[in-house]
Structure 1
Protein backbone atom coordinates (compact mmCIF):
# COMPACT_ATOMS: atom_id res chain seq x y z
CA UNK A 1 0.00 0.00 0.00
CA UNK A 2 1.36 3.40 -0.94
CA UNK A 3 1.72 5.92 1.85
CA UNK A 4 -0.13 8.49 -0.28
CA UNK A 5 -2.89 6.14 -1.37
CA UNK A 6 -6.21 7.94 -1.81
CA UNK A 7 -9.42 6.98 -0.03
CA UNK A 8 -12.53 6.01 -1.98
CA UNK A 9 -16.13 6.67 -0.98
CA UNK A 10 -17.74 3.45 0.25
CA UNK A 11 -21.05 4.58 1.76
CA UNK A 12 -22.49 7.72 3.28
CA UNK A 13 -24.59 7.84 6.43
CA UNK A 14 -26.25 11.08 7.60
CA UNK A 15 -23.69 11.75 10.34
CA UNK A 16 -20.61 9.78 9.26
CA UNK A 17 -18.54 9.50 6.12
CA UNK A 18 -17.29 6.02 5.37
CA UNK A 19 -14.47 5.44 2.93
CA UNK A 20 -12.23 2.56 1.96
CA UNK A 21 -8.76 2.32 0.47
CA UNK A 22 -7.47 -0.11 -2.11
CA UNK A 23 -6.20 -2.39 0.64
CA UNK A 24 -9.69 -2.79 2.08
CA UNK A 25 -9.22 -0.72 5.23
CA UNK A 26 -12.39 1.07 6.35
CA UNK A 27 -12.19 4.71 7.46
CA UNK A 28 -15.08 6.15 9.46
CA UNK A 29 -15.15 9.95 9.78
CA UNK A 30 -17.52 11.14 12.49
CA UNK A 31 -19.48 14.41 12.30
CA UNK A 32 -19.99 14.45 8.53
CA UNK A 33 -22.86 16.87 9.22
CA UNK A 34 -20.73 19.34 11.19
CA UNK A 35 -21.40 22.12 8.65
CA UNK A 36 -25.01 22.26 9.93
CA UNK A 37 -23.71 23.53 13.27
CA UNK A 38 -24.37 20.38 15.30
CA UNK A 39 -22.11 19.76 18.27
CA UNK A 40 -19.40 17.13 17.58
CA UNK A 41 -20.48 14.91 20.47
CA UNK A 42 -22.12 11.51 20.84
CA UNK A 43 -25.61 12.36 19.70
CA UNK A 44 -27.92 9.35 19.35
CA UNK A 45 -27.97 9.82 15.58
CA UNK A 46 -24.19 9.62 15.40
CA UNK A 47 -24.05 6.48 17.53
CA UNK A 48 -26.73 4.82 15.39
CA UNK A 49 -24.75 5.47 12.21
CA UNK A 50 -21.39 4.49 13.73
CA UNK A 51 -22.59 1.22 15.21
CA UNK A 52 -24.50 0.39 12.00
CA UNK A 53 -21.30 0.83 10.00
CA UNK A 54 -19.25 -1.22 12.47
CA UNK A 55 -21.89 -3.97 12.47
CA UNK A 56 -21.54 -4.21 8.71
CA UNK A 57 -17.78 -4.53 9.05
CA UNK A 58 -18.37 -7.16 11.74
CA UNK A 59 -20.48 -9.31 9.42
CA UNK A 60 -18.91 -12.61 8.26
CA UNK A 61 -16.34 -11.90 5.56
CA UNK A 62 -15.49 -14.05 2.52
CA UNK A 63 -12.00 -15.47 2.84
CA UNK A 64 -11.03 -14.56 -0.71
CA UNK A 65 -9.24 -11.43 0.50
CA UNK A 66 -5.47 -11.23 0.28
CA UNK A 67 -5.10 -10.87 4.06
CA UNK A 68 -7.06 -12.21 7.02
CA UNK A 69 -6.30 -8.98 8.93
CA UNK A 70 -8.64 -6.01 8.54
CA UNK A 71 -8.40 -2.42 9.79
CA UNK A 72 -10.98 0.15 10.88
CA UNK A 73 -9.87 3.75 11.37
CA UNK A 74 -11.97 6.20 13.40
CA UNK A 75 -11.44 9.87 12.59
CA UNK A 76 -13.46 13.09 12.38
CA UNK A 77 -14.62 15.64 9.83
CA UNK A 78 -15.24 18.31 12.50
CA UNK A 79 -12.52 20.99 12.55
CA UNK A 80 -10.53 20.80 15.76
CA UNK A 81 -12.62 18.04 17.34
CA UNK A 82 -12.30 14.27 17.29
CA UNK A 83 -15.28 13.98 19.62
CA UNK A 84 -16.28 16.17 22.58
CA UNK A 85 -17.98 13.37 24.50
CA UNK A 86 -21.47 12.59 25.69
CA UNK A 87 -24.58 14.53 24.76
CA UNK A 88 -24.68 16.74 27.86
CA UNK A 89 -27.87 18.49 26.77
CA UNK A 90 -29.60 15.12 26.67
CA UNK A 91 -28.04 14.10 29.99
CA UNK A 92 -29.31 17.22 31.74
CA UNK A 93 -32.80 16.74 30.31
CA UNK A 94 -33.01 13.07 31.34
CA UNK A 95 -31.60 13.76 34.80
CA UNK A 96 -34.05 16.61 35.42
CA UNK A 97 -36.87 14.25 34.39
CA UNK A 98 -35.54 11.44 36.63
CA UNK A 99 -35.56 9.19 33.54
CA UNK A 100 -33.28 6.33 34.58
CA UNK A 101 -34.45 4.10 31.73
CA UNK A 102 -33.62 6.74 29.11
CA UNK A 103 -30.21 7.43 30.61
CA UNK A 104 -29.41 3.72 30.87
CA UNK A 105 -30.50 3.17 27.27
CA UNK A 106 -28.13 5.90 26.07
CA UNK A 107 -25.25 4.56 28.20
CA UNK A 108 -25.84 1.00 27.01
CA UNK A 109 -25.64 2.13 23.38
CA UNK A 110 -22.25 3.70 24.18
CA UNK A 111 -21.05 0.47 25.77
CA UNK A 112 -22.23 -1.55 22.76
CA UNK A 113 -19.93 0.41 20.47
CA UNK A 114 -16.80 0.71 22.60
CA UNK A 115 -16.90 -2.99 23.47
CA UNK A 116 -17.22 -3.91 19.80
CA UNK A 117 -14.10 -1.87 19.04
CA UNK A 118 -12.14 -3.15 22.01
CA UNK A 119 -13.04 -6.71 21.03
CA UNK A 120 -11.58 -6.23 17.56
CA UNK A 121 -15.02 -6.66 15.95
CA UNK A 122 -14.86 -10.36 16.67
CA UNK A 123 -11.08 -10.62 16.65
CA UNK A 124 -9.86 -10.09 13.08
CA UNK A 125 -9.97 -6.27 13.00
CA UNK A 126 -7.34 -3.85 14.24
CA UNK A 127 -9.02 -0.60 15.31
CA UNK A 128 -7.11 2.68 15.06
CA UNK A 129 -8.19 6.04 16.48
CA UNK A 130 -6.86 8.93 14.40
CA UNK A 131 -7.07 11.93 16.73
CA UNK A 132 -6.64 15.16 14.72
CA UNK A 133 -8.74 17.27 17.08
CA UNK A 134 -9.63 17.31 20.75
CA UNK A 135 -11.00 14.10 22.29
CA UNK A 136 -12.86 14.80 25.53
CA UNK A 137 -14.92 12.62 27.86
CA UNK A 138 -16.62 9.95 25.77
CA UNK A 139 -14.45 10.98 22.83
CA UNK A 140 -11.38 9.92 24.78
CA UNK A 141 -13.16 6.73 25.86
CA UNK A 142 -13.80 5.93 22.19
CA UNK A 143 -10.12 6.40 21.36
CA UNK A 144 -9.07 4.28 24.35
CA UNK A 145 -11.32 1.45 23.15
CA UNK A 146 -9.21 1.13 20.00
CA UNK A 147 -6.07 -0.99 19.81
CA UNK A 148 -3.94 1.94 18.62
CA UNK A 149 -4.22 5.70 19.15
CA UNK A 150 -2.47 7.92 16.60
CA UNK A 151 -2.65 11.62 17.47
CA UNK A 152 -1.42 14.78 15.82
CA UNK A 153 0.64 17.33 17.71
CA UNK A 154 -1.29 20.21 19.24
CA UNK A 155 -4.39 18.17 20.03
CA UNK A 156 -5.64 17.47 23.55
CA UNK A 157 -7.46 14.69 25.34
CA UNK A 158 -9.05 14.49 28.75
CA UNK A 159 -11.86 13.34 31.03
CA UNK A 160 -13.45 16.51 32.45
CA UNK A 161 -16.60 14.92 33.90
CA UNK A 162 -15.52 15.69 37.46
CA UNK A 163 -16.16 19.37 36.67
CA UNK A 164 -19.89 18.69 36.93
CA UNK A 165 -19.67 16.08 39.68
CA UNK A 166 -19.40 12.87 37.65
CA UNK A 167 -16.75 10.40 36.53
CA UNK A 168 -16.67 8.95 33.02
CA UNK A 169 -18.80 5.83 32.86
CA UNK A 170 -18.50 4.24 29.43
CA UNK A 171 -15.13 2.53 29.60
CA UNK A 172 -12.56 5.11 30.69
CA UNK A 173 -11.50 3.37 33.91
CA UNK A 174 -11.44 -0.09 32.32
CA UNK A 175 -9.49 0.94 29.23
CA UNK A 176 -7.11 3.32 31.02
CA UNK A 177 -6.20 0.76 33.67
CA UNK A 178 -5.09 -1.61 30.89
CA UNK A 179 -2.66 1.07 29.64
CA UNK A 180 -1.46 2.59 32.93
CA UNK A 181 -1.70 1.64 36.60
CA UNK A 182 -5.15 1.84 38.23
CA UNK A 183 -3.78 4.54 40.54
CA UNK A 184 -2.74 6.71 37.59
CA UNK A 185 -6.07 6.05 35.87
CA UNK A 186 -7.95 7.20 38.98
CA UNK A 187 -5.80 10.34 39.26
CA UNK A 188 -6.48 11.26 35.63
CA UNK A 189 -10.20 10.79 36.15
CA UNK A 190 -10.43 12.71 39.42
CA UNK A 191 -8.18 15.61 38.31
CA UNK A 192 -10.28 16.14 35.19
CA UNK A 193 -7.41 17.83 33.36
CA UNK A 194 -7.26 18.28 29.59
CA UNK A 195 -3.76 17.20 28.55
CA UNK A 196 -1.70 17.60 25.38
CA UNK A 197 -1.30 14.34 23.47
CA UNK A 198 2.46 14.68 23.79
CA UNK A 199 2.16 14.25 27.56
CA UNK A 200 -0.27 11.37 27.19
CA UNK A 201 2.22 9.73 24.82
CA UNK A 202 4.94 9.95 27.48
CA UNK A 203 2.53 8.33 29.93
CA UNK A 204 1.91 5.42 27.55
CA UNK A 205 -1.73 6.29 26.85
CA UNK A 206 -1.33 7.58 23.29
CA UNK A 207 0.67 5.23 21.07
CA UNK A 208 1.94 7.47 18.26
CA UNK A 209 2.23 11.26 17.97
CA UNK A 210 2.99 12.84 14.60
CA UNK A 211 3.23 16.43 13.30
CA UNK A 212 0.04 18.28 12.42
CA UNK A 213 -1.30 17.13 9.05
CA UNK A 214 0.66 13.86 9.08
CA UNK A 215 -1.95 11.69 10.80
CA UNK A 216 -3.44 9.96 7.77
CA UNK A 217 -0.01 9.20 6.34
CA UNK A 218 1.10 7.73 9.67
CA UNK A 219 -2.00 5.52 9.85
CA UNK A 220 -1.46 4.23 6.31
CA UNK A 221 2.13 3.39 7.15
CA UNK A 222 1.02 1.60 10.32
CA UNK A 223 -1.54 -0.45 8.38
CA UNK A 224 1.08 -1.31 5.78
CA UNK A 225 3.49 -2.41 8.49
CA UNK A 226 0.91 -4.60 10.22
CA UNK A 227 -0.12 -6.21 6.93
CA UNK A 228 3.44 -7.51 6.53
CA UNK A 229 2.72 -9.87 9.45
CA UNK A 230 -1.06 -10.24 9.54
CA UNK A 231 -1.16 -13.51 11.47
CA UNK A 232 1.09 -12.10 14.18
CA UNK A 233 -1.26 -9.16 14.68
CA UNK A 234 -4.31 -11.42 14.68
CA UNK A 235 -2.62 -13.51 17.38
CA UNK A 236 -1.85 -10.33 19.29
CA UNK A 237 -5.54 -9.42 19.15
CA UNK A 238 -6.37 -12.77 20.73
CA UNK A 239 -3.62 -12.44 23.35
CA UNK A 240 -4.88 -8.97 24.33
CA UNK A 241 -8.44 -10.26 24.66
CA UNK A 242 -7.18 -12.93 27.07
CA UNK A 243 -4.60 -10.97 29.06
CA UNK A 244 -6.32 -7.56 29.17
CA UNK A 245 -9.94 -8.51 28.76
CA UNK A 246 -12.59 -5.85 29.24
CA UNK A 247 -15.83 -7.77 29.23
CA UNK A 248 -19.20 -6.42 28.18
CA UNK A 249 -20.56 -7.25 31.63
CA UNK A 250 -17.81 -5.18 33.27
CA UNK A 251 -18.59 -2.17 31.09
CA UNK A 252 -22.35 -2.50 31.61
CA UNK A 253 -22.01 -2.82 35.39
CA UNK A 254 -19.82 0.29 35.55
CA UNK A 255 -22.19 2.30 33.39
CA UNK A 256 -25.07 1.37 35.72
CA UNK A 257 -23.06 2.94 38.55
CA UNK A 258 -22.59 6.01 36.33
CA UNK A 259 -26.34 6.28 35.67
CA UNK A 260 -27.16 6.19 39.37
CA UNK A 261 -24.48 8.81 40.11
CA UNK A 262 -25.80 11.02 37.31
CA UNK A 263 -29.36 10.86 38.63
CA UNK A 264 -28.10 12.05 42.03
CA UNK A 265 -26.64 15.29 40.60
CA UNK A 266 -28.07 18.56 41.85
CA UNK A 267 -29.04 21.71 40.00
CA UNK A 268 -25.58 23.25 40.28
CA UNK A 269 -24.02 20.33 38.41
CA UNK A 270 -26.74 20.39 35.76
CA UNK A 271 -26.18 24.10 35.19
CA UNK A 272 -22.46 23.36 34.73
CA UNK A 273 -23.37 20.78 32.07
CA UNK A 274 -25.57 23.30 30.30
CA UNK A 275 -22.79 25.92 30.30
CA UNK A 276 -20.52 23.39 28.60
CA UNK A 277 -23.24 22.67 26.03
CA UNK A 278 -23.47 26.40 25.21
CA UNK A 279 -19.68 26.61 24.86
CA UNK A 280 -19.71 23.62 22.51
CA UNK A 281 -22.49 25.19 20.46
CA UNK A 282 -20.52 28.44 20.10
CA UNK A 283 -17.47 26.45 19.04
CA UNK A 284 -19.49 24.52 16.41
CA UNK A 285 -20.94 27.74 15.02
CA UNK A 286 -17.51 29.18 14.21
Structure 2
Protein backbone atom coordinates (compact mmCIF):
# COMPACT_ATOMS: atom_id res chain seq x y z
CA UNK A 1 0.00 0.00 0.00
CA UNK A 2 1.40 3.41 -0.97
CA UNK A 3 1.76 6.34 1.42
CA UNK A 4 -0.91 8.24 -0.53
CA UNK A 5 -3.41 5.40 -0.06
CA UNK A 6 -2.66 5.35 3.67
CA UNK A 7 -3.21 9.10 3.96
CA UNK A 8 -6.55 8.88 2.18
CA UNK A 9 -7.77 6.40 4.78
CA UNK A 10 -7.05 8.68 7.72
CA UNK A 11 -10.22 10.21 9.12
CA UNK A 12 -9.50 13.94 9.63
CA UNK A 13 -12.39 14.40 12.06
CA UNK A 14 -12.24 11.65 14.73
CA UNK A 15 -15.63 12.46 16.28
CA UNK A 16 -17.49 12.60 12.96
CA UNK A 17 -18.48 10.23 10.19
CA UNK A 18 -19.06 12.19 7.02
CA UNK A 19 -20.82 11.15 3.85
CA UNK A 20 -21.00 13.50 0.88
CA UNK A 21 -22.38 12.96 -2.61
CA UNK A 22 -20.11 13.22 -5.63
CA UNK A 23 -21.47 16.63 -6.62
CA UNK A 24 -20.98 18.17 -3.19
CA UNK A 25 -24.69 18.97 -2.93
CA UNK A 26 -25.46 16.92 0.19
CA UNK A 27 -23.28 16.44 3.25
CA UNK A 28 -24.31 14.08 6.05
CA UNK A 29 -22.55 14.65 9.39
CA UNK A 30 -22.88 11.81 11.88
CA UNK A 31 -21.81 12.96 15.33
CA UNK A 32 -20.21 10.77 18.04
CA UNK A 33 -18.29 8.48 15.68
CA UNK A 34 -15.70 7.97 18.45
CA UNK A 35 -18.22 6.26 20.78
CA UNK A 36 -17.52 8.70 23.61
CA UNK A 37 -20.21 10.54 25.61
CA UNK A 38 -22.78 11.78 23.04
CA UNK A 39 -22.67 15.40 24.15
CA UNK A 40 -20.96 18.59 23.01
CA UNK A 41 -17.46 17.79 24.11
CA UNK A 42 -14.87 20.29 22.88
CA UNK A 43 -13.42 17.66 20.52
CA UNK A 44 -16.78 17.27 18.76
CA UNK A 45 -17.31 21.02 18.58
CA UNK A 46 -13.84 21.50 17.08
CA UNK A 47 -14.39 18.80 14.45
CA UNK A 48 -17.84 20.09 13.51
CA UNK A 49 -16.65 23.67 13.14
CA UNK A 50 -13.56 22.63 11.16
CA UNK A 51 -15.58 20.54 8.73
CA UNK A 52 -18.35 23.11 8.32
CA UNK A 53 -15.75 25.81 7.66
CA UNK A 54 -14.23 23.61 4.96
CA UNK A 55 -17.55 23.36 3.07
CA UNK A 56 -18.72 26.95 3.62
CA UNK A 57 -18.38 28.84 0.35
CA UNK A 58 -17.45 32.47 -0.17
CA UNK A 59 -19.95 34.58 -2.12
CA UNK A 60 -17.74 34.41 -5.20
CA UNK A 61 -17.77 30.58 -5.08
CA UNK A 62 -21.55 30.17 -5.02
CA UNK A 63 -23.16 29.22 -8.32
CA UNK A 64 -26.51 30.81 -9.10
CA UNK A 65 -29.33 28.40 -8.34
CA UNK A 66 -27.12 25.77 -6.70
CA UNK A 67 -28.76 24.56 -3.50
CA UNK A 68 -26.83 22.40 -1.05
CA UNK A 69 -27.91 20.42 2.00
CA UNK A 70 -26.26 19.59 5.32
CA UNK A 71 -27.81 16.81 7.39
CA UNK A 72 -26.98 16.43 11.07
CA UNK A 73 -27.36 12.91 12.45
CA UNK A 74 -25.67 10.64 14.97
CA UNK A 75 -23.77 7.38 15.15
CA UNK A 76 -24.78 6.96 18.80
CA UNK A 77 -28.15 5.81 20.07
CA UNK A 78 -28.71 9.44 21.14
CA UNK A 79 -28.79 12.35 18.72
CA UNK A 80 -27.04 14.54 21.30
CA UNK A 81 -27.45 14.84 25.08
CA UNK A 82 -26.41 18.50 25.26
CA UNK A 83 -23.58 20.46 26.80
CA UNK A 84 -20.49 18.96 28.39
CA UNK A 85 -21.69 18.92 31.99
CA UNK A 86 -18.38 17.52 33.25
CA UNK A 87 -16.63 20.59 31.86
CA UNK A 88 -19.36 22.93 33.14
CA UNK A 89 -19.10 21.53 36.65
CA UNK A 90 -15.33 21.96 36.73
CA UNK A 91 -15.33 25.49 35.34
CA UNK A 92 -18.13 26.62 37.65
CA UNK A 93 -16.33 25.26 40.72
CA UNK A 94 -13.18 27.08 39.56
CA UNK A 95 -15.11 30.29 38.90
CA UNK A 96 -13.62 30.34 35.40
CA UNK A 97 -15.95 32.73 33.59
CA UNK A 98 -13.59 33.25 30.66
CA UNK A 99 -13.42 29.59 29.65
CA UNK A 100 -17.14 29.04 30.24
CA UNK A 101 -17.96 32.03 28.05
CA UNK A 102 -15.55 30.81 25.39
CA UNK A 103 -17.33 27.44 25.31
CA UNK A 104 -20.72 29.16 25.08
CA UNK A 105 -19.49 31.47 22.33
CA UNK A 106 -18.33 28.51 20.24
CA UNK A 107 -21.76 26.92 20.64
CA UNK A 108 -23.47 30.13 19.56
CA UNK A 109 -21.23 30.46 16.52
CA UNK A 110 -22.16 26.92 15.51
CA UNK A 111 -25.94 27.19 15.87
CA UNK A 112 -25.93 30.61 14.18
CA UNK A 113 -24.01 29.15 11.25
CA UNK A 114 -26.61 26.38 10.89
CA UNK A 115 -29.49 28.84 11.25
CA UNK A 116 -28.13 31.06 8.46
CA UNK A 117 -27.58 28.11 6.10
CA UNK A 118 -23.76 28.33 6.08
CA UNK A 119 -23.98 31.75 4.48
CA UNK A 120 -27.26 31.22 2.64
CA UNK A 121 -26.85 28.49 0.00
CA UNK A 122 -27.51 25.52 2.31
CA UNK A 123 -30.69 24.03 3.74
CA UNK A 124 -29.89 22.43 7.10
CA UNK A 125 -31.72 19.31 8.31
CA UNK A 126 -31.60 17.64 11.73
CA UNK A 127 -32.25 13.89 11.56
CA UNK A 128 -33.25 12.95 15.10
CA UNK A 129 -33.29 9.18 15.60
CA UNK A 130 -32.37 9.17 19.30
CA UNK A 131 -32.61 11.39 22.37
CA UNK A 132 -32.11 15.12 21.73
CA UNK A 133 -31.75 16.88 25.06
CA UNK A 134 -30.59 20.34 26.12
CA UNK A 135 -28.00 21.62 23.68
CA UNK A 136 -28.76 18.67 21.40
CA UNK A 137 -32.29 19.95 20.94
CA UNK A 138 -30.96 23.50 20.54
CA UNK A 139 -28.78 22.30 17.67
CA UNK A 140 -31.78 20.63 16.01
CA UNK A 141 -33.87 23.79 16.50
CA UNK A 142 -31.24 25.87 14.71
CA UNK A 143 -31.77 23.85 11.51
CA UNK A 144 -34.28 24.71 8.80
CA UNK A 145 -36.05 21.35 9.16
CA UNK A 146 -36.30 18.81 11.97
CA UNK A 147 -37.04 15.25 10.85
CA UNK A 148 -37.63 12.98 13.83
CA UNK A 149 -38.52 9.33 14.21
CA UNK A 150 -41.46 8.36 16.42
CA UNK A 151 -40.93 7.71 20.11
CA UNK A 152 -37.73 9.72 20.51
CA UNK A 153 -37.18 11.69 23.74
CA UNK A 154 -36.64 15.42 23.22
CA UNK A 155 -36.50 18.18 25.80
CA UNK A 156 -34.71 20.94 27.68
CA UNK A 157 -34.07 19.61 31.20
CA UNK A 158 -31.53 22.26 32.32
CA UNK A 159 -33.91 23.66 34.94
CA UNK A 160 -33.42 20.42 36.90
CA UNK A 161 -29.99 21.69 37.94
CA UNK A 162 -30.92 25.37 38.14
CA UNK A 163 -30.00 26.46 34.62
CA UNK A 164 -31.77 27.24 31.36
CA UNK A 165 -30.78 26.32 27.78
CA UNK A 166 -28.63 29.31 26.87
CA UNK A 167 -27.38 28.63 23.34
CA UNK A 168 -30.41 29.53 21.26
CA UNK A 169 -33.35 27.46 22.52
CA UNK A 170 -35.58 30.40 23.42
CA UNK A 171 -34.86 32.33 20.22
CA UNK A 172 -35.30 29.32 17.94
CA UNK A 173 -38.38 28.00 19.74
CA UNK A 174 -40.07 31.39 19.41
CA UNK A 175 -39.84 31.01 15.62
CA UNK A 176 -41.83 27.77 15.85
CA UNK A 177 -44.25 28.27 18.77
CA UNK A 178 -45.55 31.17 20.86
CA UNK A 179 -43.18 32.80 23.38
CA UNK A 180 -45.50 31.62 26.17
CA UNK A 181 -45.19 28.00 25.06
CA UNK A 182 -41.44 28.37 24.57
CA UNK A 183 -41.09 29.59 28.17
CA UNK A 184 -43.24 26.73 29.45
CA UNK A 185 -41.15 24.14 27.61
CA UNK A 186 -37.98 25.64 29.09
CA UNK A 187 -39.18 26.23 32.66
CA UNK A 188 -40.99 22.91 33.13
CA UNK A 189 -37.92 20.97 32.05
CA UNK A 190 -39.97 17.96 31.07
CA UNK A 191 -39.02 15.44 28.42
CA UNK A 192 -41.41 15.23 25.47
CA UNK A 193 -41.77 12.53 22.88
CA UNK A 194 -41.06 13.48 19.28
CA UNK A 195 -44.74 12.76 18.62
CA UNK A 196 -45.76 15.44 21.14
CA UNK A 197 -43.36 18.01 19.74
CA UNK A 198 -44.63 17.29 16.24
CA UNK A 199 -48.18 18.07 17.39
CA UNK A 200 -46.91 21.30 18.98
CA UNK A 201 -45.19 22.35 15.75
CA UNK A 202 -41.61 21.99 16.99
CA UNK A 203 -40.80 18.90 14.90
CA UNK A 204 -41.48 19.42 11.19
CA UNK A 205 -41.61 15.84 9.90
CA UNK A 206 -42.40 12.77 12.00
CA UNK A 207 -41.82 9.27 10.59
CA UNK A 208 -41.87 5.72 11.96
CA UNK A 209 -38.77 4.22 13.55
CA UNK A 210 -36.11 3.36 10.99
CA UNK A 211 -37.52 5.59 8.24
CA UNK A 212 -35.76 8.85 9.12
CA UNK A 213 -32.93 8.63 6.60
CA UNK A 214 -35.34 7.80 3.77
CA UNK A 215 -37.54 10.75 4.75
CA UNK A 216 -34.53 13.08 4.64
CA UNK A 217 -33.49 11.78 1.22
CA UNK A 218 -37.03 12.36 -0.07
CA UNK A 219 -37.01 15.89 1.38
CA UNK A 220 -33.70 16.71 -0.31
CA UNK A 221 -34.97 15.42 -3.66
CA UNK A 222 -38.14 17.55 -3.39
CA UNK A 223 -36.21 20.68 -2.50
CA UNK A 224 -33.69 20.13 -5.29
CA UNK A 225 -36.56 20.28 -7.79
CA UNK A 226 -37.04 23.95 -6.88
CA UNK A 227 -33.58 25.19 -5.84
CA UNK A 228 -34.19 28.85 -6.67
CA UNK A 229 -37.31 28.95 -4.49
CA UNK A 230 -35.55 27.40 -1.52
CA UNK A 231 -32.53 29.66 -1.87
CA UNK A 232 -34.89 32.62 -1.98
CA UNK A 233 -36.67 31.39 1.14
CA UNK A 234 -33.35 31.20 2.93
CA UNK A 235 -32.94 34.91 2.23
CA UNK A 236 -36.55 35.66 3.16
CA UNK A 237 -36.16 33.76 6.43
CA UNK A 238 -33.14 35.90 7.27
CA UNK A 239 -35.20 39.05 6.71
CA UNK A 240 -38.52 37.99 8.22
CA UNK A 241 -37.42 35.72 11.08
CA UNK A 242 -33.82 36.55 11.91
CA UNK A 243 -32.03 35.23 14.95
CA UNK A 244 -29.01 37.49 15.16
CA UNK A 245 -25.59 36.61 16.50
CA UNK A 246 -25.69 39.52 18.96
CA UNK A 247 -29.05 38.28 20.30
CA UNK A 248 -27.65 34.79 20.85
CA UNK A 249 -24.49 36.12 22.50
CA UNK A 250 -26.46 38.39 24.82
CA UNK A 251 -28.55 35.45 25.99
CA UNK A 252 -25.56 33.15 26.44
CA UNK A 253 -23.83 35.72 28.65
CA UNK A 254 -26.88 35.57 30.91
CA UNK A 255 -26.47 31.79 30.85
CA UNK A 256 -22.80 32.03 31.89
CA UNK A 257 -23.58 34.34 34.82
CA UNK A 258 -26.45 32.07 35.91
CA UNK A 259 -24.21 29.00 35.72
CA UNK A 260 -21.51 30.62 37.85
CA UNK A 261 -24.11 31.29 40.57
CA UNK A 262 -25.14 27.62 40.92
CA UNK A 263 -24.70 26.02 44.33
CA UNK A 264 -23.01 22.72 45.18
CA UNK A 265 -26.31 20.83 45.15
CA UNK A 266 -26.91 21.78 41.51
CA UNK A 267 -23.35 20.82 40.61
CA UNK A 268 -23.76 17.41 42.24
CA UNK A 269 -26.85 16.88 40.06
CA UNK A 270 -24.69 17.65 37.02
CA UNK A 271 -22.10 15.14 38.23
CA UNK A 272 -24.74 12.40 38.53
CA UNK A 273 -25.94 13.06 34.99
CA UNK A 274 -22.36 12.86 33.67
CA UNK A 275 -21.92 9.46 35.34
CA UNK A 276 -25.17 8.24 33.78
CA UNK A 277 -24.00 9.44 30.35
CA UNK A 278 -20.67 7.65 30.79
CA UNK A 279 -22.40 4.39 31.78
CA UNK A 280 -24.65 4.66 28.75
CA UNK A 281 -21.67 5.17 26.42
CA UNK A 282 -19.78 2.24 27.93
CA UNK A 283 -22.80 -0.04 27.59
CA UNK A 284 -23.30 1.05 23.99
CA UNK A 285 -19.64 0.48 23.13
CA UNK A 286 -19.69 -2.95 24.77
CA UNK A 287 -22.88 -3.94 22.96
Q: Same fold (TM over 0.5)?
A: yes
* Deviation for aligned residue 1:64: 6.3
Mapped contact 2:62–2:121 kept (Cα < 8 A): no
Q: How far apart, in 1, do the equivalents of 2:63 and 2:118 lie?
A: 19
Aligned residue-pair number? 273
Q: How far apart, in 1, do the equivalents of 2:62 and 2:266 lie?
A: 52
Q: How far apart, in 2, do the equivalents of 1:147 and 1:88 lie?
A: 27
* Deviation for aligned residue 1:59: 2.6
The corresponding residue for 1:173 is: 170
* Deviation for aligned residue 1:236: 0.7
* Deviation for aligned residue 1:21: 2.3
Q: Select which of 44, 47, 54 maps to 1:46.
A: 44
The corresponding residue for 1:202 is: 199
Ranges in structure 2 where 5+ consecutive residues have no aligned partner? 1-8
**Relative to 1, partners in 2 of residues 1:63 and 1:247: Cα closer, same or farther, differing over 3 Å?**
closer
**Relative to 1, partners in 2 of residues 1:282 and 1:123: Cα closer, same or farther, differing over 3 Å?**
same
Matching of residues 26-41 of structure 1 within 5 Å: 26-34=27-35, 38-41=36-39
The corresponding residue for 2:17 is: 17
**SS at 1:13's partner residue?**
coil
**SS at 2:120's partner residue?**
coil
Ranges in structure 1 where 5+ consecutive residues have no aligned partner? 1-8
* Deviation for aligned residue 1:154: 1.6
Mapped contact 1:10–1:20 kept (Cα < 8 A): no
Mapped contact 2:165–2:186 kept (Cα < 8 A): yes
Q: Select which of 208, 212, 225 maps to 2:209.
A: 212
**SS at 2:79's partner residue?**
strand
Displacement over 6 Å in runs of 4+ = none
The corresponding residue for 1:85 is: 82
TM-score, normalising length: structure 2: 0.92
Q: How far apart, in 1, do the equivalents of 2:212 and 2:22 lie?
A: 18
Q: How far apart, in 2, do the equivalents of 1:266 and 1:73 lie?
A: 38
Q: Does 1:111 align with 2:112?
A: no
Q: Deviations over 1:72-101 (max 9, x none)?
A: 0000001x2000000000000000000000
Mapped contact 2:57–2:119 kept (Cα < 8 A): no
* Deviation for aligned residue 1:10: 11
Mapped contact 2:56–2:119 kept (Cα < 8 A): yes
Q: How far apart, in 1, do the equivalents of 2:41 and 2:246 lie?
A: 24
Q: Select which of 137, 142, 147 maps to 1:145.
A: 142
* Deviation for aligned residue 1:57: 1.5
The corresponding residue for 1:187 is: 184
